[in-house]
Amino acid sequence: MVMTLAEKIIAAHTDQAEVQAGQFVYAGVDFCLGNDITAPIAIKEFEDAGIERVFDRKRIALVPDHFTPNKDIASAEQVKMLRRFAERHRIEYFFEIGRMGIEHALLPEMGLVLPGDLVIGADSHTCTYGALGAFAVGVGSTDLAACFATGKVWLRVPETIRFMFDGKLPRWSSGKDIILHVIGDIGVDGALYKVMEFTGPTISSLPMDDRFAICNMAIEAGAKTGIIKTDDVTEDYVRGRAKRGYRPCHVNGSPDNIETRSYNASKISPQVAMPSLPSNVCPAEELSHIKIDQVVIGSCTNGRISDMRIAAQILQGRKVHPSVRLLIFPATQETYLQAVREGLMDVFIGAGAAVSTPTCGPCLGGHSGVLAEGERCLSTTNRNFPGRMGHPKSEVYLSSPAVAAASAVTGRITHPEELI
């Protein structure tokens, strides 16, 4: 039987030679994670069950990134729970403020999640690691508690839909535009319970940051995860970072009975998702009349160094529009420092942007940039549901960092071409 990439990785984590879609398995987990919102519930479940030991203290990450630096007493208490649990079980990877980053940017950067891995995370955007050629799924807190105890997860082996891209992306388009375009095409439940495998010459030529952005938003199409096969680009990224041995998974050929959708990447212009669904997508240039109050550049989707670079390239020598607040959140300490070293911070601050230490903050309407009633934000994050970034009657538009930076300058949604 020819297995898909996802099936092959799952099979390698069970005692079976082969698995197939629809089958129910308990699979071994290489790495698991929780954050300051989801891990407290998992810790409580784990402790209430009276289990004394975690399955492997080097295969668990606890990342306080959502309401940190602690926004209030309640969130400080949640982080304290993580810290205490990490101490008690000598968890190797607890990331303290000042040494952290948004989980899905941080763990690949630290070489903690690796090609061929099976990863679970109590956070829906765990699917981001699929960009490394891992099978990585978001789960809930109880799943994480069970994994702390057993190192295993229950899974229904998912079907795969293949998304094939050919052609060269236009100058101002990126991985973000690819994934917004696909979600616009198939809808927010277009890949429900399935794996989205991204493939083809366009994908092979994309750098890792774009691949992470693509897999990050697979969940926004309802998918179990996104995945991209491990190749030289992946290996270059992982080399020098990997904290342990790993085994990339390669498939020979692929099952021919798989649903495949083909796209011409040269036709994918910068895309914007309008309120209040990530599938409500339209080309940026058709929205040039939409005025905005706030722009956010950052998050686990687009807070990496190449995102910072393209934003700086557009903001260089320009000013943020007087009626716009531009907030920039590098996703990790390493990205932050790199941006300082490259002089990007001079550009941001000089342009009139507010720059923050890494945090999820505004992405989930948590803190550091919450929207008031009737306000409109253009954001490089991944969700625009009502109330996502603040008041239930505020609006969120989603785009790439290039469109976000250009729009911050003009005060309305803008294709970067208009400026440059």
Partner 1 sequence: MRGRCWKFGDNISTDHIIAGRFLSTSEPGALAAHCMEDARPEFHKEVSPGDIVVAGDNFGCGSSREHAPIAMKGCKIGAVIASSFARIFFRNSINIGLPIIESVEAAREIEEGDDVEIDMNKSRILNHTSGKTYSFEPFPQEIRDIIAAGGLMKYVKKKMGK
| 145 near partner 1 (CB under 8 A) | yes
**Residue of 125, 181, 194, 229 interacting with ligand SF4 (CB under 6 A):** 125
Please report whether residue 364 would count as binding ligand SF4 according to CB under 6 A.
yes
H helix count then E strand count, the chain: 14, 18
Q: Is 30 helix (H, G, I), strand (E, B) or coil?
A: coil
DSSP states along 59-102: SEEEE--SSTTT-SHHHHHHHHHHHHHHHHTT-SEE--TTS-B-
Among 123, 159, 307, 395, binds ligand SF4 (CB under 6 A): 123
258 φ/ψ angles, rounded to the nearest 5 degrees: -95, 140
d(CA 258, CA 411): 44
**Cβ neighbours of residue 62 under 8 Å, at least 6 residues apart?**
33, 34, 35, 39, 82, 85, 86, 91, 93, 94, 95
Q: Of these partners, partner 1, ligand SF4, none, which one is at the site of residue 381 (CB under 5 to 8 Å by kind)? A: ligand SF4
Partner in contact with 146, chosen from partner 1, ligand SF4, none, beta carbon below 5 to 8 Å by kind: partner 1
Examine residue 211 and tell whether it contacts ligand SF4 (CB under 6 A): no
Q: Please report the sign of the dihedral spanned by the C-alpha atoms of residue 276, residue 280, residue 281, residue 284.
A: negative
DSSP designation for 371: B
Question: How far is residue 19's CA from residue 24's CA, in Å, rounded to a whole number?
Answer: 9
321 touches partner 1 by CB under 8 A:
no
Instruction: Give the span between the Cα atoms of 315 and 47, in whole angstroms.
Output: 50
Q: Cβ atoms within 10 A of the Cβ of 289, count?
A: 7
Give the residue with the Cβ less far from ligand SF4, 117 or 123. Answer: 123
The answer to whether the CB of 372 falls within 8 A of the CB of 391 is: yes
Partner that binds at residue 49, options ligand SF4, partner 1, none, CB closer than 5 to 8 Å by kind: partner 1
44's contact among ligand SF4, partner 1, none, with CB below 5 to 8 A by partner kind, is partner 1
First to last CA, the chain: 52
Q: Does 40 bind partner 1 (CB under 8 A)?
A: yes
Taking CB within 5 to 8 Å according to partner kind, which of ligand SF4, partner 1, none is near residue 357?
none
Q: Which is nearer to ligand SF4, 8 or 66 (CB)?
A: 66
Q: How far apart are CA 120 and CA 388, in angstroms?
A: 24
| Residue 151 in contact with partner 1, rule: CB under 8 A | no
Check binding of 68 to ligand SF4 (CB under 6 A).
no
- Which residues from 361-380 bind partner 1, rule CB under 8 A? 364-366, 370
- Tell me, residue by residue from 91 to 130, as one string, x for binding to partner 1 by CB under 8 A and - for no binding: ------------------------------xxxx-x----
Least distance to partner 1, CB of residue 292, Å: 20
CB of 208 to ligand SF4, least distance (A): 17
Query: How near is the Cβ of 379 to partner 1 at its closest, in Å?
Result: 14
- Interacting residue with ligand SF4 among 41, 363, 378, 398 (CB under 6 A): 363
Q: Tokens in use for 326?
A: 């531009």
For partner 1, the binding residue among 113, 146, 345, 405 (CB under 8 A) is 146
Rounded to 10°, the helix 344-351/333-341 angle is 90
Q: Which is nearer to ligand SF4, 66 or 224 (CB)?
A: 66
CB of 138 vs partner 1, minimal distance in Å: 5
Strands 60-63 and 354-355: unpaired
Shortest CB 179 distance to partner 1, Å: 16
Which of the choices partner 1, ligand SF4, none does residue 419 contact, using the CB cut-off of 5 to 8 A by kind?
A: none
Nearer to ligand SF4, 141 or 381 (CB): 381
Q: Interaction with partner 1 in 217-236: which residues (CB under 8 A)?
A: 222, 224
Binders of partner 1 among residues 169 to 198 (CB under 8 A) are 188-189, 192-193
Name residue 396's beta-bridge partners: 377
Write the single-letter amino acid at 309.
R
Cβ contact 174:211 at 8 Å: no
34 with 138: CB under 8 angstroms?
no
Residue linked to tokens 């550009």: 347
Kindly list the residues in this chain that would bind ligand SF4 in the complex (CB under 6 A).
Answer: 66, 102-104, 123, 125, 299-300, 360, 363-364, 381-382
